[in-house]
Amino acid sequence: MNRESVMQVHFPEESPVFDGASMLMRFVVHLDGEPVVCAITVEALEDHFGARSALEAMLCGAFERGRESIRAACEDAIRETGGSVVLHSGQFRLVDE
């Protein structure tokens, strides 16, 4: 049995946390019951989810608008890597086309 078929991925209803030093929004994903910190770049939130600047309030709003797409991309990436991921703008360009 491959790992993908047994891996449990759950997204708790928690707000993301802005990491200004790294220009990331970090969020928790439960992978097989264990918390794993994942992230999305500020650039991805600006390019694809309407954040007009790197201000925390705008990034949080963009994250909320894109939550379903972000979760879907994150789950796909986790299933490929088996662990924590950072989502970049290019991953959403493929979906947008």
pLDDT digits (tens, 9 = 90+) for 1-10: 344 457 899 9
The model's pTM is: 0.89
| DSSP conformational letter for 83 | S
State which fold the 3-96 domain adopts: Double Stranded RNA Binding Domain (3.30.160)
Domain parsing of the chain, residue ranges: 3-96
Residue ranges of the chain whose pLDDT lies below 50: 1-4
Half-sphere exposure of 20 (CA within 13 A, CB side): 5
**Amino acid 93: pLDDT:** 80
Instruction: Please report how the helices 89-96 and 56-81 are oriented relative to each other, as an axis angle in degrees rounded to 10.
Output: 80
Decide if 26 contacts 37 (C-beta within 8 A).
yes
CA torsion angle for 54, 34, 65, 60 (degrees, to 10)? -30
Amino acid letter, 92 = F
**What residues contact residue 97 under an 8 Å CB cut-off, 6+ apart?**
none
